[in-house]
Amino acid sequence: MFNELYGEIDFRRSSARKAETTPVKLPSGSVYGIFAYPDNKAAGKALLEATHCEASEVEPIDGGAYPLYWGRDIHPGSRVMAHARVRNGNTGNAKLEQIPALQKCKVLFKVSQFTKILS
């Protein structure tokens, strides 16, 4: 997946911040997106209603795809799986399996390399 992977481990941070952040900074990894392709217009309308979007706010992209979620992670495959399932926890998962309207959609995801220069 990666041509290169790099980051920084910052042990110089103040002791007041130690409890709230990790010393490992990962400016590289992957970006991922999850998209729904409704089977028909009625399914698209149901998807918008289920996700609390107004038709005037969201338009399909790339051949009728509706973006459901996107993010960046060092382990994009596990994040995509986590967003698809409903699990207890506090990781900000999209819980896509709880959206019945997705049963009338083809749902695809894409992962691409992400790299940012450390500053």
Give the domain ranges of the chain. 30-112
Q: Give the model confidence (pLDDT) of 8-27 as tens digits.
A: 667 776 555 555 556 666 66
pLDDT at residue 96 tops 60: yes
CA distances from 21 to 1, 4, 18, 53, 73 (A): 27, 24, 6, 33, 16
Mean pLDDT, the chain, integer: 78
Is the sign of the CA dihedral 70, 74, 77, 82 positive or negative?
negative
Q: What is the edge-to-edge ordering of all strands in the sheet holding 66-73?
A: 66-73, 28-38, 105-115
Q: Give the model confidence (pLDDT) of 49-93 as tens digits.
A: 888 877 667 778 878 888 888 888 878 888 888 888 877 666 678
Q: What is the share, in percent, of the chain residues with pLDDT greater than 90?
A: 16
Angstrom distance (rounded) from CA 5 to CA 1: 10
Query: What pLDDT, on the 0 to 100 scale, is given for residue 119?
Result: 47
